[in-house]
Homo-oligomer: A and B are copies of this chain.
Amino acid sequence: MLETARLPSLVSIRAFEAAARLGGFALAARELGTTAAAVSYHVRQLERQTGVTLFHRYPHRVELTAAGALVAEEAIRAFGALRSSFMRAAALEAGQISITALPTFSTSWLAPRLGDFRARHPGIRIEVEVSTDAQDLGAGRFDVAIRNGHGRWPGLRAVPLFPALFMPLCAPELRDAASAALAGPPEAINVPLLGRPDWWALWFRAQGHERPPTPDRFGIQLAEEHLDAAAAISGHGVTIGSPIIFGRELEAGRLVPAHPRAARDGRAFWLAYPLARQDSAKIGLFRDWLSEQAEAARHAAARWIGEPVEAPVA
């Protein structure tokens, strides 16, 4: 690089700074992990580049000149301050984690649990941003992402959380009517369906019914899945969702399975983060905590789930 701002070679300044601070080229070489010849060479380079004599040479030792002492003082201070700023930046960075996650996952599963993470890691502040789009982790805006998919994303490490499952869920008072309705083909449905039509189609295919429910079978059309769940809790119909994600609602009796069988599409929920970040302590802590929570959630949801049936590809 050309020095447009007339700052000489930084590598040479660093060699000089170490020599000035330690009082000799041999000690500087040892600290920098190089040879005394390299330090000598760099100090000479610096003197040539700047036209300033930095050291008086005597046999066996060197002594800073007045000009050299002036630069040394500033260089020592500058490098010390820089070093300190990197440490403070690392501490700042280590003290907060930025997560991008899917809306329902965030609202219904993650958010209720974050209190526990905060209790166990009070030094780490959490930021969650919900997005239906997969955010670019390379852009640096997020440390980790919760993704739904196959788990094979280049440059990322994906930790499996739990499989994507689709189970009919309704309020307790709708149980009998919904169970009866779902025992037959889609055209026999006489209770309102809630949630994504493609997920219902997937579920019926897993039951052996090729034709999906027609639009007239659906009740309220809501923008987000957790709103579907809220409507179902209110008795407005049967929703289709993950017994793991809604595990706490099932536990509390606010939702019940309207059918014992769940369908799956081969996808799963994953924690993803850049391979380049796998040494990050905070990401490691979050990963370990999240894996633990996911395992507990899978275990707890097992009582609601019979053997999940993988739906044939439409």
Contacts and interface: CB of A to CB of B under 8 A. Distances in A.
A82 B70 CA distance: 10
Contacts of A32: 1-2, 4
Contacts of A143: 53
Interface residues of A, number: 60
A252 interface: no
A57 interface: yes
B7 A33 contact: no
A68 B14 CA distance: 22
A81 interface: yes
Nearest to A85: B74
B86 A52 contact: yes
Given A1-B32, A2-B32, A7 B82 contact: yes
Nearest to A15: B1
A211 interface: no
Given A4-B32, A32-B2, A139-B58, A82 B86 contact: no
Contacts of A47: 140
Which secondary structure dominates where chain A touches chain B? helix
A72 to B, nearest CB: 9
Most-contacted residue by chain B among A31, A54, A71, A138 (CB, 10 A): A71
Interface string A81-113: 111111011101100000000000000000000
A166 B223 CA distance: 109
A77 interface: yes
A167 interface: no
Interface of A: 1-2, 4-8, 10-11, 13-14, 31-34, 38, 47-48, 50-58, 65-68, 70-71, 73-75, 77-79, 81-86, 88-90, 92-93, 136, 138-141, 143, 276-277, 279-280
